[in-house]
Copies of this chain bind each other. A is one copy, B any other.
Amino acid sequence: QSSVQIGGMVDVYAGSLKRSGDAASTGVVNSSGMQTSWWGFKGTEDLGNGLQANFALTGFFRPDIGGTGRNNSDTMFARDANVGLSGSFGRVSLGRDLAPNFVPMLTFNPFAASFAFSPLGLHSQTSSSRYRGQAWSPVVSGDTAWSNEIMYVTPKLGGFTTSFFLQLGEQAGDSGKNNFGVNTMYAKGPLSFGAYFQSVKVNNPVDTTVGESSVFTFTPYNRVTGATYTLAASKNDTWFLGGAYDLQYMKLFGTFNRSTTKLIGAADDSQYDLKANTVQLGTSVPLGKGLVLLSWARTKVEAKGDFSAVLGSADVQSSITRNTASLGYDYFLSKRTDVYSVVSYDKLTDTSSGVSFGVGIRQRF
């Protein structure tokens, strides 16, 4: 058996981007329209008695500029850098590995892990739109992969595969700043569903902040005077439920997630002052050698507090709603290579709407 396999995927598209709140469209040749481009190494070693050792060392990259990572903050192997053991007990691994949110999120929306066009991905994980000049704060904090992680995956039990996640915050003398979570996935015949819970205090890929980190922000404002008040949260807890049903001639997708966040410096741990709810519905329909993809997501971010004292009593806007819908066609030239085109509409409360589109190609290796 070989000790190492090379793998990866290159995805580039040409198009035009205008998210809600953008002043104008931008013509682009951009990376990763349908999936984040990556490369790297993986290996599995048979140790006997059903025991295996396995490692993964993979990184994202941006083919449009030849850069590593999804952005300049990413480490080179931000996708996977871990080693572990698996056997009848399940799998244990150490290092940088999956976050609880990633597999459920991509499994139950038709655009999967597209952070350019998936409405669910855009709302959950990107800062793609602008609200009153500030970048959208992704409602699911802490990234799709976690550093400094201990991860345990159960064997399949009654159709369920369950994973436990713990990221250490690595603060001297403070063992309380960690991320943790769990997810579970089920699939049988045409039906599949899954769920996760995660609690995030530590940003990724590398957060060495002493004390509370800002993991989420939101800005209530006064519609009359324009005065703003920025809220920053140090903890983001997310619940997620998702499912899919495959009718052969079409597949249906649906997800719901709710995040609650604790404001930085808030004295009372039980006082969760911000919340964000996301609903996503989608479908994929086989057509020729490809799939028509359609998905819509709606997120409402809400500050529960009363800001009339700081913003003036009249017309305080303390909630915001984002609607995003995408329609695409993904045509497979082979199992490894597909071409796609997508159009996407985006609209935030009280903000100009935006339409984006792209035509791209993705090749796995």
Contact = CB atoms under 8 A, between A and B. Distances in A.
A171 B4 CA distance: 42
Contact of A95 (B7, B8, B10, B27): B10
A282 B22 CA distance: 53
Interface in A42-77: 43, 45, 47, 51, 53-55, 57, 59, 61-68, 74-77
A173 B24 contact: yes
Interface stretch (A142-150, A248-256, A290-298, A341-349): A142-150
A14 B83 CA distance: 12
A11 B83 contact: yes
A2 to B, nearest CB: 9
B360 A94 contact: yes
B53 A80 contact: no
Nearest to A173: B24
B13 A365 contact: no
Interface stretch (A98-106, A223-231, A237-245, A330-338): A330-338
A126 interface: no
Given A8-B57, A173-B23, A361-B94, A168 B68 contact: no
Contact of A43 (B55, B94, B206, B363): B363
A270 interface: no
Contacts of A4: 6-8, 365
Nearest to A364: B3
A244 to B, nearest CB: 29
A24 B364 CA distance: 47
Contact of A205 (B66, B76, B82): B66
Chain A binding surface, main DSSP class: strand
A308 interface: no
Given A22-B172, A45-B363, A171-B26, A61 B77 contact: yes
Given A26-B172, A170-B27, A82 B337 contact: no
B29 A95 contact: yes
Contact of A83 (B30, B148, B361): B361
A8 B41 contact: yes
A170 B26 contact: yes
Contacts of A23: 172-173
Interface in A273-323: none
A362 interface: yes
A71 to B, nearest CB: 12
User: Which of A14, A175, A337 neighbours the largest number of chain B CB atoms within 10 Å of its CB?
Assistant: A337
A79 interface: yes
Given A334-B45, A362-B83, A65 B26 contact: no
6 contacts: A27-B170, A53-B363, A65-B81, A65-B96, A65-B205, A67-B206
Closest CB pairs A-B (n = 5):
A24-B173, A66-B77, A12-B94, A63-B81, A63-B95
